[in-house]
Structure 1
Amino acid sequence: MPTPALDGSDGLDLQLGAESFRHVFAGDVPEATTRLLAATRRPVSASTFGDQATAAAWRTVPSWHTVPSWSLVAGRSERPGYPARTPSVPGGAVGARSVEVDSSHLPLLSRPDAVTGLITAAAGSVRD
């Protein structure tokens, strides 16, 4: 969908259709929550996939990364009935400490225990 970019130039937003949202993005999130997410999400700017970062905090700041094991958004899946798993960029490639989570792309909603564990481990490993 055409949308003005932040600098005022012509931009393009991409959005996954509501009928595909649960399957692709949130297959293990309760259906009512998935419907709400699909109806209220913000589209992603197409420029996201080509823009270059001018600085990357992970180069100088300790980083942690969850890897959802069957996120179709990240090009991965080990869930029956979903496409075969394909390689994704591991957090180690950017110096992050990675934790694989058995979830869709939204482990914060479907596996808050795993995300909380990662945050707790990250906080416990950082010194002033």
Structure 2
Amino acid sequence: MFRSIPLLLFLALGTTLTPAAARPAVDPDAPTVILVHGAFADASSWDQVAKRLRRRGVPVVAVDNPLSSLEADVDVTRAAIAAAPGKVVLVGHSWGGTVITQAGVDPKVTALVYVAAFAPDVGQTSAQQGEHFPVAPGLQQLLERDGWLSLSPQTIARDFAQDLTPRALARVQASQLPLKASALAEPVTAAAWRSRPSWYVVSRKDRMLAPQLQVATAQRIGATLYSVGASHVAPVSEPGEVSNVILEASGLRPADAPTSAAGG
């Protein structure tokens, strides 16, 4: 059990302290954007997105999930929401979508952004979302050890992050964190997308979460839908497109209008 919110934040929030003179001015109208990473990743997967948002004066926090259970990841995200000074936009990638679905019912949360992500309904698990859809190639190659799931370097290169440069791919491989398999069988007890406006970014070249499932999920939750020609790790390979959608969800003008709208 976590002992205190301050300790939790010190241990879990992926924030970097910068000298005050180097920080861009904060937009007083901008909500805090909280970025929630998925399985087989850590908070650094959001680095390029966070950099772009901060340049626009948006306060950003990237949480580091323990990936040990849905409850544990939701607790970390709730602590970040509680620490934010005002309104919050929650952004979840992959498994992080399940986390923001439950954590996003907090009254401070004004919008949700899903990036190649799960978005279960109440009583539904992440694993159940994949029923009746093709099993993506990468999911057929999961490694299991002592109840934890991970990816081999070959699967990361072929199915998880196949559109990255060798250098970026090496960083993704080095920062991989395993996911407790049992987390995928935990049902959500709240579905924030039922009461919050949502945006969804589909990764059209995703080999971990079937694009057909992503589109169906976006339609089911009534999200504003965009798509990018990216692998599963769109926050790394297409940070500009992802950042623009987050800015739109935050009520701010995107740096460039998203170019790959797939409907709404």
Q: Which bracket does the TM-score occupy, shorter chain normalised? A: 0.7 to 0.9
Q: In 2, distance between residues paired with 1:64 and 1:56?
A: 14
The one of 169, 194, 210 equivalent to 1:75 is: 210
Q: Which residue does the alignment assign to 2:218? A: 91
Q: Which of 151, 155, 159 lines up with 1:24 in the alignment?
A: 159
- Please give the TM-score of this superposition, normalised by the length of structure 1: 0.74
Query: Deviation at 1:90?
Result: 3.0
Once the two structures are superposed, what CA deviation does each residue of 1:95-121 show, in whole Å capped at 9, x if it has no partner? 222211110011111111211221122
- 1:84 is aligned to none
Structure 2 counterparts to residues 1-128 of structure 1, below 5 A: 12-76=147-211, 87-88=212-213, 89-124=216-251
Using the TM superposition, give the Cα deviation of residue 38 of structure 1 relative to its aligned residue in structure 2, in angstroms.
1.3
- TM score, norm. by length of structure 2: 0.38
Gaps of 5+ in 1: 77-86
Contact 1:91–1:97 (Cα < 8 Å) also in 2: yes
Between the aligned partners of 1:17 and 1:48, the Cα distance in structure 2 is: 20
Structure 2 unaligned residues grouped into runs of 5+: 1-67, 72-145, 253-264
The amino acid that maps onto 2:233 is: L
**4+ residue runs of structure 1 moved beyond 3 angstroms?**
none
Identity over aligned pairs, percent: 28
Secondary structure at 1:90 match in 2: helix
> Distance between the aligned counterparts of 1:24 and 1:48, measured in 2?
22
Partner letter of residue 180 of structure 2? S
Give the match's secondary structure for 2:206: coil
- Compute the RMSD of aligned alpha carbons: 2.1
Q: How far did residue 32 of structure 1 move?
A: 1.4
1:79 is matched with none
1:82 alignment counterpart: none
